[in-house]
Amino acid sequence: MQKLLLRIDAISTLVGQLFAWLIVLLTLMICWEVFSRYALGTPHAWTFDVANMLYGTLFMMAGAYTLARNGHVRGDVLYGFFPPRTQAAIDLVLYVVFFIPGTVALAWAGIDFFNESLAQNEHSSIAADGPPVYPVKAVIPVAGAFLLLQGAAEIVRCVICLRRGAWPRRAGDVEEVDVEKLKQTIEADRQDGAPRQPAAYEPPATQRDTR
């Protein structure tokens, strides 16, 4: 089971890293457009649309990769101090109640969006010669499928943690540095037997009384 989970992580990571190259393409395109607009005097009306499409594609296809790296935003001020089984129980409820229905709805709606856009040969209406929109709408169900695959792996991890009392290993764990430092500080205070007091203020040498 652990090998299967790591394989799913590897798939999500590979997809995310491949689509991350869109940042390079987007940067080069914007640089060329700035040069073309101000140096050559030949702006392109389609640049705004293509930039949005590239960024939207990157954003959607990075979802599974971010989930595999446990990098999505989490308000874990309290969560980080819970024991693993409590964390797993909370995550499992949230995955089942919110994540799975929301992602399925996203992928299902994306299929309809793509089919309608393709049937109409939809193009962007911002510019007269706007680029086609249906290739980007095709990314919606694809991104949803990868997100569901990674979500299934995360649900299995929650079940394993509930049984064993510890989170299974994942490739390239992402640690919450601030939470870990806070834990270490609190643990050090407990060992000292008293909370740490801030160091006394000492003015700079230029402000000291040298008389």
Mean pLDDT by 10 residues, the chain (211 residues): 87 92 93 90 84 91 90 77 90 94 93 92 78 90 94 94 88 54 67 56 48 42
- The amino acid that residue 147 corresponds to is L
Say which DSSP state 82 is in.
S
Tell me which residue has tokens 């393409």.
Answer: 25
8 Å CB contact between 170 and 1 = no
Q: Which pLDDT belongs to residue 178? A: 54
Whole-angstrom Cα distance, residue 93 to residue 89? 6
Phi/psi of residue 200, each to 5°?
A: -65, 145
8 Å CB contact between 23 and 103 = no
8 Å CB contact between 106 and 140 = yes
Q: Which pLDDT belongs to residue 131? A: 85
Q: Which pLDDT belongs to residue 75? A: 72
Whole-angstrom Cα distance, residue 102 to residue 15? 21
Q: How far apart are the first and last CA of the chain?
A: 74
- Which residues on neighbouring strands pair with residue 136, listed in sequence order? none
Q: Which pLDDT belongs to residue 125? A: 76
This prediction's pTM = 0.74
